[in-house]
Amino acid sequence: MTKYLQILLGLVLGSVMLLASSPKAENSRIEDRDFDGVIDRDDRCPNTPFFALVNRNGCMIKKIKISKEREEIARKTLSQRN
């Protein structure tokens, strides 16, 4: 995995974990179904491609090319955390 991809994945996972640990998460479930780091209620572009770089509104800036195998592993890992 390239250093750039590792950093991106760390940011995405960190965002998901940070949102999940926020006080609001205790009262209601925070969802990010497309795993872009933007919670669904604030996501203006739902269903962005997996491993896309997105802006703060959840809209794609650029898609990062990764193998289907790695994409599936990442999806499963993120799904298990929610």
Instruction: State mean pLDDT over 15-25.
Output: 49
- Mean pLDDT lowest for which of 18-27, 53-62, 68-77? 18-27
pTM across the whole model: 0.51
Instruction: State the pLDDT confidence band at 25, using cuts at 50, 70 and 90.
Output: very low
**Residue 62: is its pLDDT beyond 80?**
yes
- Contact at 8 Å (CB) between 39 and 19? yes
Identify which of 14, 5, 21 has the alpha carbon closest to the alpha carbon of residue 35. 14
Mean of per-residue pLDDT scores for the chain? 75
